[in-house]
Chains A and B, each alone.
Chain A
Amino acid sequence: MDRQRRAGLLFVLPAVVYFGGVFLVPLVESVIGSFYRTVPGGLSQFVGTRLYVKVLTDPTFWQAVGNTLSLLVMSVPVTVVVALAVALGLHRLRSLEARSAWAAMYFLPFSVSLVAAALVWQWIYDPVYGVLNHALAGLGVPPLKWLQSLDLVRPSLAAVNVWARLGFDTMIFLAALQAIPAEYYEAAAIDGASAWQALRRITLPLLNPQIVMVAILELIFNFKIFDTVYATTQGGPAGASQTVIMLLYDTAFKYFRLGDASVMAVFVFVSLLLVTLLQWRLFRRQVEY
């Protein structure tokens, strides 16, 4: 091995060690653990694929998957579209100070602990004392049971997710927008392109890598959502907001079924991997002008 190659390997070694220790080893442990059940007394027993059959035929598990997907569908497109809209708006601001101030305001929720944010939102959503119902009462809307309603709990949690993630996605889009050369827009203007045409033909194609990346990140974030749900509803009411990760947590640490929980972990990993690869393949296009 030549010196340059060795140096390169040494540079990536810390990252490889970290990634291996924190991600790969637990992943391999989870895969192995999914073939063992814990019996009373704490011993493990090899059961082959029995736990896969058990978990994948359990209606509670599929209800949790359904809840997760429902939250994901409500959160991801809204977050991406709104973040893009905000970034476009910020990009049009001429004053750098104003742009920075607005960007910082949008980014602030991202820097707040999700548990703390969830608790604040719990108060906002409180059906009796919440500021949201108080404001709606001023408009003549009767009080709503945001987190205590089977129909409203997931949209309410999705709104919290959008609020929490908007700033981060906006920053990515804003940085990408600033990297698009102004000449493209000048050329388009000379050719008589409208603002809408410039957006469709220049901005969106050039933002494609960022849009794909943000969509994947949001997908992963929302699929793994735990903190906000755990702190606000604990999966209720009546299981209406129980997500896969919440069920996984309960299965592992409340019911002490580490094997079943490992099956769920493997399911989450494989699902995310497949969806990410699919998304990457379908939507990622190289655009050059």
Chain B
Amino acid sequence: MRGVRTVAVTAVVAMALAAPSSWAQPKKLVFWTHWEQNPEFNKFYETRGKDFGQKTGYEVQVVTVPYQGYEAKYLAALMGKSGAPDIFMGMTHHWCGQYDFCDKMPADLARTWGENLPKYMLNVGKWKGTRYGIPIEHGNFQQMYIDAELFKKAGLDPDKPPKTLDDWLAAMKKLTVLDAKGEPTQVGFALRHKGHPVGITDKFLPFAHAFGARMLSPNLEKATGFANSAEMVAALQFYSDLVNKHKVASTAFPTPEDAFGQKRAATIFRESWFFGWVKKNAPDVAFKVYALPCGKTCPGAGNLFPWTNMVAKSSPHKQAAWDFMKFISNAKDDLDQHQAQGILPVWTANLDSAYVKSRPDYQSTQEMLRQPVPPEYYHPKSNELATAFGEAVVAALYGKGQPKPLLDEAAAKMDRILRD
């Protein structure tokens, strides 16, 4: 019996010695992203992670979390700490503001980004003046995509897009085709009317801004007087009239992107990534991209979802994570990564690169950036606020009420959220 035990112990010791030691294996930085529609962009982290690994012993493993429900997974992991990623993508004002999951960016790296971002993006990635996140998407603002063929068919010149909302509405009317019962079979504008109210708010805001309205006060502390201002009421009236009065947009078409891709809608307002989407999913659509039409003012380059990369405060590899971020924080990597996926790069040095100049949205992007910077709503409760506001927008679209009382109710609710 004793002999058997001795053999067993020897075998275990031998196996332990023969096994590769854990410190000889490359260490991993785990990177979570929910940009499932951008696989090439995500792969870049792993590719460059291998180069980084040769110098430091750390490689990068990218985990793509499905967009639907990503918040729940991130929250569970970041609260649980042990299963949390080292680097993750999200909105700074949520994960660093509402929660305290982020590590502050080292000063030298923050300076690098401060010196190389386009002006309108300087606040993206900051919370209360401190930089936590690295902005990853330039051109994350809506522009006007038009179907050139449908424009021509309607007797419109696709090279002379409408510049004002009045001209735009007139063009939308010409582009809309109704059946015998008065229902549109083709609409001028592909309007977002379903899905989460946050997305509906996002798509409505350019109209609101063009009417000179803003959703919250400049210090983001008040909604009443802003979300229900006379300008906002006028903007929502205009927006709901597109569906209910002019019928140049329809709630019968489930998703605006599909309607545009299927040539059932002649225009859509979307971000820079959409040109890659159309090329891939609707290659027969001949489209052009223009700056959004202006109303009282121009809507400008703004967004509700400022995506950034952040380092988790609880990560045991924080230093290595920041070192990796520094490793890829340069103009060349910025261009390579974004070009691989067909997204606009972030660094100012790349904004006039050959790649960017060759894109169909080059001129329109320049034009959008020349417009005044629209209001920003980077508040920790932005999702909840945008939901309350979006509920009023969608209710108006579905004829559940008039814009003024709906917005009054929304503003009161938003103030309660802000006070709480």
Contacts and interface: CB of A to CB of B under 8 A. Distances in A.
B270 interface: no
Contacts of B380: 40, 256
Interface string B372-389: 000000001101100100
A150 B69 contact: no
Interface string A137-153: 00000110101101000
Interface string B186-229: 00000001111110000000000000000000000000000000
B400 interface: yes
B47 to A, nearest CB: 32
B36 interface: no
Given A256-B94, A256-B99, A145 B387 contact: no
Interface of A: 37-38, 40-43, 54, 60, 122, 126-128, 142-143, 145, 147-148, 150, 230, 233-239, 249-250, 252-257
Contacts of B413: 60
Contact of B394 (A43, A147, A230, A236): A236
A246 to B, nearest CB: 10
Nearest to A54: B420
Interface in B133-179: none
26 contacts: A37-B420, A41-B99, A42-B99, A43-B100, A54-B420, A60-B413, A126-B254, A128-B264, A147-B194, A147-B254, A148-B252, A150-B398, A234-B194, A234-B195, A235-B196, A236-B197, A236-B394, A238-B394, A239-B197, A239-B391, A239-B394, A252-B75, A253-B69, A253-B71, A253-B75, A254-B71
B123 interface: no
B347 to A, nearest CB: 31
Contacts of A239: 197, 391, 394-395
A238 B395 contact: yes
A142 B254 CA distance: 17
A237 B391 contact: no
Contact of B194 (A42, A143, A237): A237
Nearest to A125: B254
Given A238-B398, A249-B72, A254 B252 contact: no
Nearest to B398: A238
Contacts, number: 88
A250 B381 CA distance: 12
A201 B80 CA distance: 57
B218 to A, nearest CB: 19
B198 A233 contact: no
Interface in B365-413: 380-381, 383-384, 387, 391, 394-395, 397-398, 400, 413
Given A237-B194, A255-B381, A150 B400 contact: yes
A236 B71 contact: no
B86 to A, nearest CB: 19
B398 A250 contact: no
B99 A237 contact: no
Contacts of A235: 196
Q: Which 8 pairs of residues, A with B, have the shortest CB-CB distance? A: A255-B384, A253-B72, A42-B99, A253-B71, A42-B100, A127-B252, A238-B394, A238-B398
Contact of B383 (A42, A148, A255): A255
A144 to B, nearest CB: 10
A42 B394 CA distance: 31
Contacts of B251: 145, 148, 237
B319 interface: no
B194 A40 contact: no
Contacts of A142: 181
Interface residues of B, dominant DSSP = loop
A249 B69 CA distance: 9
B419 to A, nearest CB: 11
Contacts of B88: none
Nearest to B73: A253
Given A253-B75, A254-B387, A236 B194 contact: yes
A94 B193 CA distance: 52
B98 interface: yes
Which of A37, A147, A234, A256: most chain B CB closer than 10 A?
A: A256
Nearest to B72: A253
Nearest to A115: B68
A165 to B, nearest CB: 23
Nearest to B380: A40
A122 B420 CA distance: 37
B282 to A, nearest CB: 15
B98 A42 contact: yes
Nearest to A127: B252
A252 B195 CA distance: 18
B253 interface: yes
Contacts of B420: 37, 54
Nearest to B196: A234
Nearest to B200: A236
Contacts of A145: 251-252
Contacts of B252: 127-128, 143, 145, 148
A237 B100 contact: no
A164 B18 CA distance: 54
B290 interface: no
B195 A236 contact: yes
B398 A237 contact: yes
A189 to B, nearest CB: 55
A146 B367 CA distance: 41
A166 B184 CA distance: 38
Contacts of A41: 99-100
Which of A41, A145, A233, A254: most chain B CB closer than 10 A?
A: A254
Contacts of B194: 147-148, 233-234, 236-237
B254 A148 contact: yes
A256 B98 contact: yes
B52 interface: no
Contacts of A234: 194-196
Contacts of B387: 250, 254-255
A239 to B, nearest CB: 6
B303 to A, nearest CB: 18
Contacts of B197: 236, 239
B127 to A, nearest CB: 10
A52 B398 CA distance: 32
